[in-house]
Structure 1
Amino acid sequence: MKYLIIFFSLIIISCSNLNINREHSISYYNNGKIKSNISVVNGIKNGPVFNYFEDGSLAVKGYFSNDQRDKKWYFYDENTKKLVAIENYKNGNLEGEQFYYYPNGKLKLQGNYKDNIRVGFWQMYDEEGNLSVQNIFLDGEKVISVAIFQKNGNILCSGLTKEGLREGTWQYFDENSKPLYDVEYKNGILDGEWKAYDKDGNIIISGYYNNGKLLGLE
């Protein structure tokens, strides 16, 4: 009886596979080289996908699940042939950690997505590998904590942006990360108190802005 059950199970599996039509959708350039090779199951993109440049080199390598981007996708530069981006997807949306690179291969930008929205820490680097900007996404992409760095690695300025505009107090520093001055913004416009500091961190002068206009000094 045990062997009979196994036999019928194999028949059921074989019959179910008859309903699966696996194929590859392949397109070509005018020069005859492959432009794209996409795995298709029952007319729906499912499985690996490869896109190529006209010279035959790899442009994109990824994966589809039920016609939507899924898992890791790799993107390459046409000229250097080097990797320019690694993106992670889930159900067609950017999800998880992402990496973007300069043509020289060094990391340019990295951060995380959640349902196509940037979240948490995002870091940008210059072509020499130095951290230049660090953003923290606090409310989806509406409120962002921004820190901009100098070549020596010390912070240059920091503050918040709201809907893409500077908001609240922004702090500015010298090359040794000592405070130079603070200034307040509202909707991207100078509005509120500003203060300047000496090398010991003491306030040496202050004033007020009203809708972008300097009112006076104290």
Structure 2
Amino acid sequence: MKFSLILILTVCSLTTYAQRRISLYYDSAWALNSKAQASYFRNAWIDTTYYVFLGPVLDYYVEGKLAMQGKYVAGKKSGTFTFYYLNGEKKIQGDFQDNQMVGIWNYFYPDGIPKQSIAYTDNDFKVLSYHDKGGTQKVKDGNGLWEGFYFSHTIKDTIHITGNVKNGFKDGWWVYFDDSGIRLYEEKYKDGKFKSGKTYTSSGAVTGKINTPLGKKVLMPHSISYTERFVYAPNVIKNEYPYLKFLPDEVKQYFDQNWKKCDKDKATYYRITNEVNAESTSGNITDFWMNDNIYRKGRYINGKKKGYFVYYHESGNTKSEGRYSNDKRVGAWKYYYEDGSPWQNVYYEKGQRYVDQYWNEQGKLKVDLGSGEYEDIYEYNSITLREIGSFTEYQKDGIWKGYTQEGELYFEERYKNGELLQAHSFDEEGNKIPYQKKIEYAAPSDGLDAFYKFVEKEMKYPTYTRQKYIQGKVLIKVVVDKNGKLLEAKAISSPHQVLSEEAVSVVKKYNKWKSGKEMGKPVQMFFIIPLTYDLSGSPASTFN
């Protein structure tokens, strides 16, 4: 009896020693991040030996508003958990038992209107009621068409779900789409019982079968699953959370003005990441000027910018801010001068750029509601150009001119209602070089039809990938110099190396290319060719 008591006391002492009251900071995706990148933070007790949460847990928005409250018992979720919107309205509420969602969970819209009621069973869930955003009841008494979504840790994107319920149970086909509407997988049910399932490629071809349904795990709040796994952003280092021993050490990467990696003495920027994620292309990123001021903050998904970004001048003042989608600027962007005063407000839509407002350096509003006199300074082919012209109702109008830093006329263009009527640039001797488009892309010189015929004739489906049922799209980066010579062809994305090698060999065989042009002048240019291998028919090719 005495020995048992001593043993218990010893264990309690060790457990107490491993506990720590902490504050953890999370980015917008609920990945552990630095305080500067935080969208949320958590106050909780943690066992720093086993890395589990203990006791009450409180999550907050960075603004200080409560985001979630719940409790852990011996590292497992227990009792009622409540989630809140930033405006204070209840978002989700339900119970956990032994780490599992149990009973009825209620979900709400930001205005407090009920969204849905879900009953969680051992391995799945039943939909009791569901209202869409417009207030229409789509599921009543467990019958109707249900729509939901969850965040996928695998593809780092939001997955949309749609399917019918009958008496609360899943019935018929349930379909899962990504954010762009591409079908990923399907599950078939009969009165709540899983019958079959299949997965798809981005081109819509079936790639395999699903033997185990996704079940109720898809509705686990994203913040719970990420924080419990201690998922951390690429830039997080051990110095920021010294009690989290699993975090990697710091790695500092240096880049030149063109964002190519270089030595420190040649660098314009640097990025702090860690030894594990030094080459990562996903996650929240903060880049710095060499004077340690922030250059930009934002999020990358598979190497492409997505969501809200902020850029800064070397002085530390904001330079621009707005959103990206698939690496392209979209929606409203604001730009600022070095001193922080407004420069221009621009709207991006369907690849077009519309200037809504523009202020000159003296602070005078020169363009308003898309009309007025405009001036811009930018880098073009390693040359600093000053462009001057006028907008009328968001469209270029009249004569537009571009000058070098030395004041020499570089180009002249004439527009009417946004349409380019006449344009020319100048060579080194001052001779005019006419052009109809600012950019003419490099392409097959005999046209796309001839290129397609060549590819269809030469491209073979490798035996190995055919036998293994490997198919999909190979993206080939093609570089053509200013003389129309092919400099490079390499695969940048592919379902398999064997398909990459075959596709690249076909492109290299083709020897009829024309160079790209910018303002009428031949330049070296790269572009992407997608070649698709599809087992449902003959290899198909497309060209972008």
Q: If the length of structure 1 is used for normalisation, what is the TM-score?
A: 0.49
Structure with higher helix content = 2
Greater relative contact order, per chain length (Cα 8 Å cut-off, separation 6+) = 1
Structure with higher strand content = 1
